[in-house]
Amino acid sequence: MSAVLANPFAPPCYNGLNPCTPEGYIDVDFTYVYDVVLTALQNLPNQILATTNDADFCWRATFIAVNTGPFAVRFYDSQGYAISNGYIFSGNIQGDASSPYPMFPEIIIPAGGKIGIDIVDASGSGNTIEIIFRGVKRYRVVAQ
C-alpha cells in the first residue's frame, strides 16, 4: 500500500482540497520582499511588511534570498497571530527561489494588511538580510 503525500508547493486544489481560487476571483503570482540591515546582535521586534490595497495576498512560501550571517525570525499574520511558537533560526528556513519553504496551508493576508516580523541577528557582526514572501494576489473579477 502506498502513501499519498500532498505537494506543499502546489496550489491547494491540486492536492484534492477546496478549489484554490474561489469563484469570482483570479489569482496572479506575486512576491513581497523584506530587506533589513542588522548591526551585531540587534533585535528588531514588531517590524511590518505592508501589503498593497488592490488585492488579498495568499502567502504560500518563504525563502531567504540574501543573508551575510545567521539570524532568527518570527512571522505573524495580519491579525497578529504568530506563525511559530518561537523564533526560527535562519538555517532552518531551507529553500531558494526554485524551491522555497512552503507555508501549508496558505496564509491569507487581506488587502492593505501586513505581515509581522520579529528579527534578531545571531552573527555578532553586521548582517544584510532579504526575505522573500511568495504567493498570489487574489483579485475580484468584476462581472460585466
What would the pLDDT profile of 27-66 be if each residue is shown by its tens digit? 999 999 999 999 999 999 999 999 999 999 999 999 999 9
Identify whether 40 is part of a domain.
yes
Identify whether 52 is part of a domain.
yes
pLDDT for res 96: 83
pLDDT for res 68: 94
Give pLDDT tens digits for 83-133. Answer: 999 999 999 988 888 888 888 888 999 999 999 999 999 999 999 999 999
CA distance 38 to 60: 26
pLDDT for res 6: 65
Asked whether the beta carbons of 74 and 9 are under 8 A apart, the reply is no
Position 125: which residue type?
S
Identify whether 96 is part of a domain.
yes
**Cell numbers standing for residue 102:** 512552503
CA distance 130 to 37: 9
pLDDT for res 115: 97
Domain count, the chain: 1
Give the structural domain span for 116.
30-134
| Predicted structure pTM score | 0.84
Nearest alpha-carbon partner for 62 in 26, 33, 86: 33
Identify whether 48 is part of a domain.
yes
Asked whether the beta carbons of 117 and 74 are under 8 A apart, the reply is yes
Identify whether 61 is part of a domain.
yes
Identify whether 141 is part of a domain.
no
Identify whether 144 is part of a domain.
no
Q: How far is CA 115 from CA 5, 60, 141, in A?
A: 29, 13, 25
> Higher pLDDT residue, 136 or 19?
136
DSSP-based three-state secondary structure for 15: helix
> Higher pLDDT residue, 5 or 64?
64
pLDDT for res 1: 45
CATH code for the domain of 83:
2.60.120.230
Residue 59 pairs in a beta bridge with 107, 135
Identify whether 106 is part of a domain.
yes
